Structures are given as structure tokens and as C-alpha cells.
Structure 1
Amino acid sequence: MSVLFTPLTLGSTTIQNRIGMVALTRNRTTDSIPNEVMLEYYVQRAVGGAGIIVTEGTLITRYGYVDNVPGIYNKEQVAGWKKITDAVHEAGSKMYCQRLLAGRTSHPDAPQQIKAGEPVYGPSAIPARGGKFRFIAGEPGYVTPTEVPDPTVIVDQFKAAAANAKEAGFDGVELHGTNGFLVEQFLDSTANKQTDKWGGSPKNRARFALEVLKAFIEVWGPNAALKISPSGGPNDVGMPLPETIETFGYLLREVDKLGLAYVTLMRYSAMLDPEYDGKKRGTPHDVLETFAPCLPTTPIFVNSGVTPAEAEELVGGGVVSGVFIGLSWITHPDLGKRIQARKPLDNVPDFAHLYGADGVDPALGYLDYKASVY
């Protein structure tokens, strides 16, 4: 599989191979501060042959998500991440920081939300269906959010966090535009009913994502990236196919003008697509075939269910520049080297400890997967 193990330049950074580790929420921080357990986890995978590692979704403010998700809005978090980026670089890999704000998929009773003293925000006062907050008594669902009073304030928060990521030694930043979180809420006409310049037409609904990316570029130059999931589904987003194509087509044609390091297209996943009223929520379609033509000058990565054989085919055929893999990186810390050595991917996922738990050793299901190549 030699084509997967050729270098690739992304922005001003060259990665050693085309197999990236996608952002994967693992909930192992200490009060949102990256710790030594996380350092070992990321270094295992850098040693294991990841060409580029994208952090788990990292909060730009205290409000907006759950406990044990990392942030990068204070000095302690920056210092924690700096230890990790230094070690990852020493191990020979590169690292991007994924920027996250969950929007209406937060909960007012979350400890970090309470500490922030802010309401749950969304583009419009429309709650997402579903939700199950395991760490809150009674496991409540989603609430009706408060409409974001001024999106430019949040754009500035993304920019400040991007500067913190530079101080923390990352190689770039990636905007989290998937899973029904805030960026995708602005894009989606079922979640965004604003009638000003931030809502209505595809151009207006794409404005928030584009403004954040422009803010990233002001800090990082070409070392900024975007991950999107046009098929929708998770957290109650998704539009009819014609509107999906119009909206994401407009967004990606504008993104291509920005000179980003890469764009990751997340494919439709039936496993991740929730069912409401007896129907799947997402809009299945071939995102590569539909949207790759919108990005003629931007490196494209694909994510979701990509096998090593398919990765070889897609990269070798020039369809994409590289691939991002998720679950197999969790279960195989040496995934890159296994693929190169043609070793089997035979570790069994420990789903019971995927996100950790209070009072449980954080290493379980996190640091204890067997490496067979190093």
C-alpha cells in the first residue's frame, strides 16, 4: 500500500503519510484540562504511524458542552496541550486542534455550563430532538436554546482559541462542522430560522462557518481546515437532498477560495443516523461524488467507515489526498504501522469504557489496546 505512505503537504506542514487520526471524543480530561493519560494516548498513536492527528473536539469557551471534554480557553489548558504537541512532534507526527462549540446540544445543568453562567445557545430557539446526558441526574434530553444574540462574538471566541492553539504548539486548527453542533446548526435550515444575514438563503446560513474560517486564517494562514458532514443525521439535523446540495455546494465553493490546508468530507453513516418517528433523520448520498468537484484546489480527506483497502483505492485513484480513520485508531494504537506491515486489525472495541466513567481507571478502553508492530 505504498501510495498511503507517501508524504503530503497540507498548508505549510508536510505529513509523513496519508492516514490521519480523526477527532474522537474520549472524555478523559481533568476539569477540561489535558492530562498525562491523554498525553500517553496521543503519543501511542503518533508512534503507531499516524500521519496527522486531530484532537478530540476542543471547547473554545467554558459554556457549550459537557465535563471531561478538553478546552483551550485558559492557560492551564494551553500548557496541558503543549506537553502533548511537543511529545507528538518528537514521535514524528503532526497535530491539528479541532475547535468545538456544541450550541443547542448543550444542557443548562451541565457543571461547566453552570460555571460559565451562560444559557444554551443556538441559531434559533428550536430544540433538537433526542439527547441523553449521562452525567446529569435523570439523563435529560435537549432543551430549547436561546438564540445567539450576536454571532460575531462567537467568531471572535473561535479566533482567540485559535491563537491559544498556536501557543500550545499545534500545527493547525480544524473547524468542527459535523454531528449537529453549532456550525452545522447554522448551516441547516431546520435548526436555523434566522431572517437576518445569518439565516434564510444558503449564502446566509453558510456565513457563520465562513467567518470562523476566515478568522482562523488570520491567525494560522494556510494551516486551517474544515470537517463537514453534508448527510446530516446526528443531533437532529438534515435537509432534503436538493437543499443539501445547494447549501453545502455553496459553502464548499467559497471554502475552495480560502486556500485551506484540507477539507474532510464525512460520509453518511446509518449507524450514527438516529431514527425519529420511524424514519432515519439523515440524507444519504455520495458526498465525495457530489461535493469533490466543488473543491478543485483544496486537498480532500474522507472519513467514516474507510477500510485500508478502500483508502488505497481512493488515494491511489486521486479521488482524495488522504483518509481519516476513527474507531480503528481507538482500538489499534499502531494502526498506521499495522496497515503498512499488512497486519490484521483484530483488537476488539471496549465500548463499555469508550467515554470513561467516574471512579473507573481512565486507562481502561483507552491505553490498554495491544500494539503488535512496535
Structure 2
Amino acid sequence: MEPPMTDLFDPCEFNGVRLKNRIALSPLTRTRSNDAGEAGELQALYYAQRASAGLLITEATPVTPGGRGGPFIPGLWSDDQIAGWRQVTDAVHAKGGVIFCQLWHAGRLSHSSLSGGEPPVAPSAMRQPGQIFTAQGLQPYEEARALRLDEMQQIVELFRAAAVRAKQAGFDGVELHAAHSYLIDAFLRDMTNKRNDAYGGSIENRARLLVEVLQAIIGVWGPERTAIRLAPIGHAYQAWDSDPEPLFTYVVERLNELKVGWLDLVEGDTGISRTAEPSFDLQKLRRLFKGALIANNLYDRDMAIAARAADTADIIAFGRPFIANPDLVERLRQGAPLAVAPPAAYYGGGARGYTDWPTLEEAAAKV
């Protein structure tokens, strides 16, 4: 198939960052760190294999042990974790790639076995239905306790310290994970935030922690190298907001005031559907946001080309297709068939199903 007439594959520049193309690797949790939450040679190879993407965004990287959504996830809560991530960034940069680290706190969607026996934390006390995968296997989610007012600045400091470590590890920028009902997102939504103090009630109050964390990150990285992920109409973990349009309009207005450089916008329910209710026209946020907008969720080649033709996004993110197609950019350029990874390969398992997927060229050489 002839390469399409599109700028999707052309070099571009946003916020002073030069990208090979307008394709991003979306964050993908792969649970392959060691017991200490350290990245290393395996992660370095994995990300380097996918460095043909214009922008790589790492798997969600916890800022504290109790901010993990499961075991074997590489973090940045300790200085001991810097060296492993430095292997990753060096490998990506050797391939001419650009890589941001996504900073994350899972909030109520964590487990006491991950935090030395301490219960998970949330804006308001609640128990998430369902089970979480732990080192001891599947266990029920636990009752999360509400964070005290005097703990809020401790949360901000966790993100700031992780942002410093990300810089020391050689990343090109960071993304704040503020989606999918994890801690920052849970503060935003009226379904999960029942507080009656400065961090609850009004939209301004519910967005306060997000703004404070962003200010701390920007203090380390500057706004041009700071990104944020939002999922305005997503229903992750059975949670949403009763009126998302004014909430996320306010949030994006604050992003503009802070001059945040990148908005990673999940359209619908991540990995499930591009529609959800209550809904609104997310292009309102595209028109409002002054930085680079990354469109995210279930895009394929034709949709990505159409999005660029209509200028509904600056960059298009692909997630699961990158798992089994390390050379996804070239496959999309050619319109070549895509390999499909079985769900069993998503999490754990070492190199198998992680770094052993062949490129088109490697597959052809074996025939």
C-alpha cells in the first residue's frame, strides 16, 4: 500500500521538543520490574524497540509504594530507581527517540500489601468493588481511608520528588496521570470526592490538588516539558462525574494559565469504547487548550489520518498495537498487517511477550 498523503509521519515540533512524527506510544502497564520496583535492561530494550514513535510515554510510574496499582511496576519513589530508568532513557536517546515519564498515584486502587500494611488512600473513604492483583494473587480491594487535610502537601511533595528523579534519570519530560479514577482524578469527580474542605465540594476545590501537583512539577520541569493525562468522560473503575463539561473546561482553563505544554486526552473509556455518558463534545477542549493535544483511545491507521486531516489533534497515541508491533510506525506508514498480542502477554512474564515481537523486516527474514 502506498504511503498516505498525511503529515502523520512527518517530523514536527511542539514546545521546543522535536519529534520524528506525530505518533505517540501511549502508557502501557507491563509489570516487569524487579521486586524493588526498578527498571533495567529489559525495559531499556522494550522502549528502544519502540523509539521510532515521535513521543514515548512510559507506563504509569508510581511516586510512592502505596501508589502502585499492583506489584512489579517500576517506580520513582526512591533514588535507587534512578539508575534503571537511566538505562531506559539512554537506550531511547541512542535511537533518536523522545521519552516522557508518566507519574502516578493509584489512590484507592492500591492495596496494603504494596505499602507495608498501610491502607490505600483516597479523597473520601470508600471500597472499590472487585479485586486487585497482588504478589499473593488476586485479593479484594480494601477500604481506602480519606486523606487528612494536613497530608495534602505530602502528596504534592511525592510528585515533586519523583519529577526531580525523572530529570536525574534523563527523561525529556513528565506526564501527570490525572485519569482513570486514580488519586488525582478521584479528587476531580463528585462521585469519588465527598469532602467538605478546601479539596472538595466546588469544582475549584476538587481541582485544587491537581493544580498544586502541576505547579510542583512545573517548578522542576517548566511548563513546556510538563504533560497531563485526562479522561473527561471515562468510566474507569465504575466512577465518573455527574457533569463533566464544566469540570474539565475549568481544568483546561487552569492548564492554560499554568502554560502546560501537552494534554493527553483519552476519548471515551480507555481501551473499551470511544463513547460514554454523561458526555460532551471533547473538541471543545481541543479548541480551548493552547498546548499540544495528544488524542488517545482505540485509534487505528485510518482514524489517525482522518484526525490529522481534520486537525482534531496534534499527535495520535497508540497503545495496545505497540505491544506486538515494535515497528508500529513503519507498519502504519505502509498499511502493513498488524500482529495482535494475546492478553496473556500484557502483564508479567519477563521477555516473553514483551521484547520478542519481530519487526516486519525481522519477520520477512525468517520466511
Superposition TM-score, scaled by structure 2 size: 0.91
Query: How far apart, in 1, do the equivalents of 2:41 and 2:298 lie?
Result: 30
**Does the alignment pair 1:309 with 2:333?**
no
Q: CA distance change for structure 1 residues 40 and 284 in 2, over 3 Å: closer, same or farther?
A: farther
Query: How far apart, in 1, do the equivalents of 2:271 and 2:105 lie?
Result: 23
Paired residue secondary structure (1:145): strand
1:83 aligns to what?
87
Q: CA deviation at 1:317?
A: 2.1
1:244 aligns to what?
244
2:315 aligns to what?
322
Letter in 1 for 2:55: I
Residues 244 and 278 in structure 2, CA contact (< 8 A), matched pair in contact too? no
Q: CA deviation at 1:29?
A: 0.4
Paired residue secondary structure (2:119): coil
Letter in 2 for 1:159: R
**Does the alignment pair 1:349 with 2:352?**
no
Query: What is the CA RMSD across the aligned residues, in angstroms?
Result: 1.8
**Does the alignment pair 1:366 with 2:354?**
yes
Letter in 1 for 2:166: A
Query: How far apart, in 2, do the equivalents of 1:160 and 1:351 lie?
Result: 34
Query: How far apart, in 2, do the equivalents of 1:238 and 1:63 lie?
Result: 23
**Does the alignment pair 1:113 with 2:118?**
no
Residues 85 and 169 in structure 1, CA contact (< 8 A), matched pair in contact too? yes
Query: How far apart, in 2, do the equivalents of 1:136 and 1:261 lie?
Result: 40
Paired residue secondary structure (1:132): strand
> How many residue pairs were aligned?
352
**Does the alignment pair 1:288 with 2:282?**
yes
Identity, in percent, stands at 33
Residues 231 and 287 in structure 1, CA contact (< 8 A), matched pair in contact too? no
Query: How far apart, in 1, do the equivalents of 2:167 and 2:281 lie?
Result: 31
Q: CA deviation at 1:129?
A: 2.3
Paired residue secondary structure (1:86): helix
Q: CA distance change for structure 1 residues 286 and 315 in 2, over 3 Å: closer, same or farther?
A: farther
Residues 283 and 312 in structure 2, CA contact (< 8 A), matched pair in contact too? no
2:54 aligns to what?
51
Q: Structure 2: where are the runs of 5+ without partners? A: 363-367
1:3 aligns to what?
7
Q: Structure 1: where are the runs of 5+ without partners? A: 274-279
Q: Structure 1 stretch 158-167 or stretch 253-262: which is displaced more? A: 253-262
Query: How far apart, in 1, do the equivalents of 2:247 and 2:48 lie?
Result: 38
Q: Summarize deviations over 1:136-157 as a string: whole Å, max 9, x none.
A: 34x2222221111221110111
2:46 aligns to what?
41
Q: CA deviation at 1:28?
A: 0.4
Superposition TM-score, scaled by structure 1 size: 0.89
Letter in 1 for 2:333: Q
Query: How far apart, in 1, do the equivalents of 2:261 and 2:361 lie?
Result: 30
Query: How far apart, in 2, do the equivalents of 1:328 and 1:351 lie?
Result: 12
2:365 aligns to what?
none
Q: CA deviation at 1:373?
A: 4.1
Residues 19 and 336 in structure 1, CA contact (< 8 A), matched pair in contact too? yes
1:60 aligns to what?
63
Paired residue secondary structure (1:260): coil
1:277 aligns to what?
none
Paired residue secondary structure (1:3): coil
1:276 aligns to what?
none
Residues 119 and 143 in structure 2, CA contact (< 8 A), matched pair in contact too? no
Query: How far apart, in 1, do the equivalents of 2:270 and 2:32 lie?
Result: 27
Q: CA deviation at 1:81?
A: 0.4
Residues 234 and 272 in structure 1, CA contact (< 8 A), matched pair in contact too? no
